[in-house]
């Protein structure tokens, strides 16, 4: 279950897409997973963390599918039972509101916060229509917006900053200012 949830958290795939993941869809050399879409979505290729790859490698390879629960219904049932147990143990009824699909919404929101690019989020989720993506993305004012700032004095320095993920902000006294979210 932990591996399944980690996959949902990192990739925001639908739980049906994750459940149907096959061993041939995984590329362990490049740490990627090819997702076969549901609901008319676009196919996607995701980079997986080393942690998730290690978790997947520990799973038994007894069938062509990575996750071998006897049907998605059983998977949801097991998750529901674990969720109820944890909510009771922690005394937190809000945990009961978490579903597989909650992780998809969370990842969409985090991806939008990180990139500020709704078209990127649309492609990330595999949506064909931007209106669908807008339902997934919560526009939250995060208080922890912290940035690293850098100054470029010439074109070569500016090029290096852009290549390392910095965004151009403005020119001041012949210097170019860049910032990147921490």
List, for residues 146-182, the tens digit of each pLDDT value: 788 999 999 999 999 999 888 898 988 889 999 887 7
| CATH, residue 17 | 1.10.443.10
Positive or negative CA dihedral for 163, 108, 104, 86?
positive
- Predicted confidence (pLDDT) at residue 143 exceeds the cutoff of 80: no
151 shares a domain with 96: no
Residue 135 lies in a domain: no
Q: Which residues have C-beta within 8 Å of that of residue 87, sequence separation ≥ 6? A: 93, 94, 95, 96
- Predicted confidence (pLDDT) at residue 142 exceeds the cutoff of 60: no
In percent, how much of the chain has pLDDT > 70? 95
Residue 27 lies in a domain: yes
Residue at token pair 């529901």: 80
Residue at token pair 């909650």: 102
Phi, psi of 104, rounded to the nearest 5 degrees: -65, -45
Question: What is the residue range of 168's domain?
Answer: 147-181
Phi, psi of 89, rounded to the nearest 5 degrees: -65, -40
85 shares a domain with 10: yes
Q: How do residues 103-123 score in pLDDT, each as one tens digit?
A: 999 999 888 888 888 899 999
In this prediction, residue 132 has a pLDDT band, given cuts at 50, 70 and 90, of confident
Give dist(CA 85, CA 76) in Å, integer. Answer: 14
Looking at residue 114, its pLDDT comes to 82
The mean pLDDT of the chain is 89
Average the pLDDT over 34-62 and give the result: 92
Would you say 122 and 133 are in contact if contact means Cβ atoms under 8 Å apart? yes
Average the pLDDT over 15-26 and give the result: 94
Cα-only R_g, the chain: 20
Give dist(CA 15, CA 12) in Å, integer. Answer: 9
Residue 155 or 72, more confident: 155
Q: How many domains does the chain have?
A: 2
Looking at residue 160, its pLDDT comes to 92
Give dist(CA 180, CA 166) in Å, integer. Answer: 5
Would you say 105 and 132 are in contact if contact means Cβ atoms under 8 Å apart? no
Give the burial string for 125-140 (b: 16+ CB within 10 Å, else e): bbbeeeeebeebbeee
Looking at residue 7, its pLDDT comes to 96
Average the pLDDT over 13-40 and give the result: 92
Residue 131 lies in a domain: no
């Amino acid at each position: 279950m932990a591996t399944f949830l980690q996959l949902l958290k990192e990739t925001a795939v639908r739980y049906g897409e994750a459940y149907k993941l096959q061993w041939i869809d995984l590329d362990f050399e490049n740490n990627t997973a090819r997702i076969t879409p549901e609901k008319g979505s676009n196919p996607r290729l995701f980079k997986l963390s080393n942690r998730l790859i290690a978790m997947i490698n520990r799973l038994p390879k007894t069938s062509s599918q990575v996750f071998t629960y006897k049907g998605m219904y059983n998977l949801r049932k097991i998750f529901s039972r674990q969720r109820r147990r944890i909510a009771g143990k922690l005394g937190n009824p809000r945990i009961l509101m978490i579903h597989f699909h909650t992780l998809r919404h969370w990842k969409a929101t985090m991806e939008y916060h990180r990139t500020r690019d709704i078209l990127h989020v649309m492609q990330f989720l595999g949506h064909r229509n931007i209106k669908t993506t807008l339902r997934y993305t919560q526009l939250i004012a995060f208080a922890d917006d912290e940035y690293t700032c850098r100054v470029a004095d010439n074109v070569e320095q500016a090029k290096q900053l852009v290549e390392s993920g910095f965004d151009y902000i403005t020119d001041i006294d012949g210097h170019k200012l860049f910032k990147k979210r921490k």
